[in-house]
Structure 1
Amino acid sequence: MPTAQQPSLIVRQKSPENIEFPFASLSDWLIPAELFFVRNHFPSPDLDARDWRLRIDGAVERPIELDLDSIKAMRRTSLTAVVECAGNGRVYYEPPREGLQWQNGAVGNAAWTGVLLREILEMAGVRQTACEVLLTGADSGVVDANKKTASPGPIAFARSLPLEKAMADSTILAYSMNERPLTRDHGYPLRAVVGGWFGMAWVKWITHITVVERPFLGYWQARDYFRWERGLGEPTLVPLAQMEVKSQIARPVQGAHLVAGQPHRIFGAAWSGEAPIRQVQVCTGDGKGWREARLLETERPFAWRLWEYMWTPEDVGQYTLRSRATDAAGCVQPDVQRSDCESYVANWIIPVKVTVVPEPKTYEEEFVI
């Protein structure tokens, strides 16, 4: 028997490769590596695990260097977590914003296996003066000179974590994805998994960990991946960190035709940052307001929740479907875009417009006189 055709990935940029998961094809809780979105700032480095080493230094008592076999010999830990590119949904900004025009597929949920970053840091002995942990990848290059935030020459991709997050159970260095070794595009041989945080913190191809005694202000921390915070009067720049509460409708797709009088499944996923999803509501635009969707699977910290709502439209016409998520911290998905997030954190409600058409006539009805 013929097998179902695999959905096609969406190429957002050819070089360096940036590929989007076709969110409308969502069906399983875990997204396989071959369908998982790929976000690269520079070409993927081709690393050989036999030569690769991880160096840990800076504000530590014992600088160390580890090979992959040594890391795999440590106590294993696994974390199922969703990762979303901070620019996911950028295409919905009005007016348009600079950057890759991701629609809604720069997000995915996977089971990651590796070692706690904390245990590697403890091997090196973090000094009491430590403030942050800087993760540096093997990917490097020159940021597009046409960007207003162009870099001053070749740089590596590097981001720091506050010491508290670096030492948390939700931060691991992973060498496996969905029980298989990492692929090159997903960070082979070792990458960061930072549960609850946007993807820019999930540094791939890690070769160097530096414990620092003051906040890191490198390019990817201070000139990109930031938002404005207005709590102190004048707006100040704050590096992006936690993902924010969000739900997306996978199906029906934009412009779908549904049949009146028949049940239709509205289906999607919802996620947040450090707090799990507790509720998803759906509004179908038929005048009945917000209604409770059914959450699928068991709640797990840092993973997304799939959800569904069965809707039987009674009348033909145009309808606007919306979904709204609420997390355990009480954060509710906003109705409209915010002005303080540059081109990032597009977590407002994205409507899906559908058309409900009459139920097809039966054979007998077609020929009744």
Structure 2
Amino acid sequence: MDTEVVLLEGETRTMPTPEQPSLIVRQKSPQNTEFPFASLSDLLIPTELFFVRNHFPSPDLDARDWRLRVDGAVARPLELDLDSIKAMRSTTLTAVVECAGNGRVYYVPPKEGLQWQNGAVGNAAWTGVLLSEILEMAGVKPNAREVLLVGADSGVVDTNKKTASPGPIAFARSLPLEKAMAHSTILAHSMNEEPLTRDHGYPLRAVVGGWFGMAWVKWITHITVLEQPFLGYWQAREYFRWERNLGEPSLVPLTEMEVKAQIARPVQGARLIAGQPYRIFGAAWGGEAAIRQVQVCTEDGSGWREASLLEKERPLAWRLWEYMWTPEKVGQYKLRCRAIDAAGRVQPDQQRSDFESYAANWIVPVEVTVVPEPQTYEEEFVI
């Protein structure tokens, strides 16, 4: 859409409006779209620009027919409709969620899976009810160990392999009882003060603060309290990492997000002008520990320097940050940033083999070119 600008009385000119950012399609069916991270500007990402991660087509649920069942190791099995849940005491949690595969495109050698770049991550304000309050209504039994969250989305997995499932399976993940009962875990019906959209889990989804997105089950219809660890497909065969203690390495499910900072601007390949100040800007996040520092290295001989953290700290949200840099010399530069959280964890320099194709949180440089300041010449007039 163009904008009409008034220049002088009675004179107008049509000027093109700046192009609006749009989601980047990583897969058309099922829909998987990425937030254009270079457009980052505010603490909250608008819903229409929030990344979408789907394993199967988004189910079309009617809230009038939808029910949430709670059963398993509970004293009082429940069935709740959406109005009953909305009538409960509400809580709003500002929290960042990152797909466990975000940054997969940077793995060397390449890894299988959706080739996310930087934008399978977002920060929003989620409103709903504490999962603990619903579990308390049901009366969790003393021998309970995990809480299984089951979504309405389902399908056949591994269709190109001999291990393909014999029929559709639902997306389901479990939480340890301690995490399910924590104040960082809610069942959300609203996102950024509006009802959830279909792609973001309408009418109800999990918000599991500090954990990767696979735990944030969408379109929840069923909660089962378990006495034994859940070993379903999405827990035991996808979204896992290797844990190396004494003896042989073992597979464990992914849980917390890893400490990470990313540069939104300047973008890869940007051309900057020598002698002019430039704002290096981005976001940083991690697991359940807050971000305490972001450092920037511009490769101009000054080493790691402190960036400014913007706005106030919100424990489970990301932190926006900035660093003002004035490049003095022309040439090629690799801009790097790293985050440090309250637990002392530092973003690593190199990729790690124990995370399969997930948790790509190592430092990825942004390469820029600094060019000379353009010269201006005055014309000489001989009279």
Q: Distance in 1 between matches of 2:377 and 2:49?
A: 43
- Which residue is equivalent to 2:226? 212
Query: Hey, what does 2:12 align to over in structure 1?
Result: none
With the length of structure 1 as denominator, give the TM-score of the two structures. 0.98
Which runs of 4 or more aligned residues in structure 1 lie more than 6 Å from their structure 2 counterparts after TM superposition? Answer: none
Residue 103 of structure 2 is matched in structure 1 by: 89
2:302 maps to 1:288:
yes
Q: How many Å separate the matches in 2 of 1:30 and 1:162?
A: 28
Structure 2 counterparts to residues 47-196 of structure 1, below 5 A: 47-146=61-160, 150-196=164-210
SS at match of 1:75: coil
- 8 Å contact kept, 1:54–1:209: yes
Unaligned runs of 5+ in 2: 4-16
Q: Structure 1 residue 297 and structure 2 residue 325: aligned?
A: no
How many residues get paired? 368
Instruction: Give the equivalent residue in structure 2 for 1:240.
Output: 254
Give the one of 25, 43, 49 matched to 1:35: 49
Asked if the contact 1:226–1:341 (Cα under 8 Å) also holds between the matched residues in 2, the reply is: yes
Aligned letter for 2:306? E
Report how far residue 152 of structure 1 moved. 4.0
Q: Deviations over 1:51-85 (max 9, x none)?
A: 00000000000001000000000000010000000
- Following superposition, the deviation at residue 145 of structure 1 comes to 1.5
1:277 aligns with 291
- Residues of 1 paired with 2:354 and 2:238: CA distance? 14
> 1:233: Cα distance to partner?
2.5
Go from structure 1 to structure 2 and tell me whether the alpha carbon gap of 1:94 and 1:167 turns closer, same or farther (over 3 Å shift).
same
SS of the counterpart of 1:289?
A: coil
**Which residue in 1 is equivalent to 2:214?**
200
Is it true that 1:229 corresponds to 2:246 in the alignment?
no
Q: Distance in 1 between matches of 2:203 and 2:113?
A: 28
* Matched residue, 2:274: 260
Q: State the Cα distance separating 1:231 from its structure 2 match.
A: 1.4
Give 1:232 shift: 2.4
Alpha-carbon distance between aligned partners in 2 of 1:147 and 1:244, rounded to the nearest angstrom: 31
State the distance in 2 between where 1:357 and 1:152 align.
59
Shift, 1:151, TM fit: 3.3
Question: Offset at 1:144?
Answer: 3.4
> Any gaps of 5 or more consecutive residues in structure 1?
none
Q: What SS class does the counterpart of residue 321 from structure 2 fall into?
A: strand
**Shift of residue 234, structure 1, vs aligned partner:** 1.1
Shift of 1:153: 2.6
Q: CA deviation at 1:147?
A: 5.2
Report the AA paired with residue 282 of structure 1.
V
Q: Return the offset for 1:283.
A: 0.2
2:9 aligns with: none
Distance 1:296 1:42 in 2: 37
Matched residue of 1:279: which SS?
Answer: strand
Cα pair 1:151 1:219 within 8 Å, conserved: no
- Report the equivalent of 2:10: none
Q: SS state of the match for residue 65, structure 2? A: coil
SS of 1:114 mapped into structure 2: strand
Q: Give SS of 1:173's match.
A: strand
RMSD, matched Cα:
1.5
Deviation by residue 1:278-299 (Cα, 9 ceiling, x = unmatched): 0000000111100000000100
How far off its partner does 1:146 sit? 2.1
| Counterpart contact for 1:149–1:224, Cα < 8 Å | no
Counterpart of 1:356 in structure 2 is 370
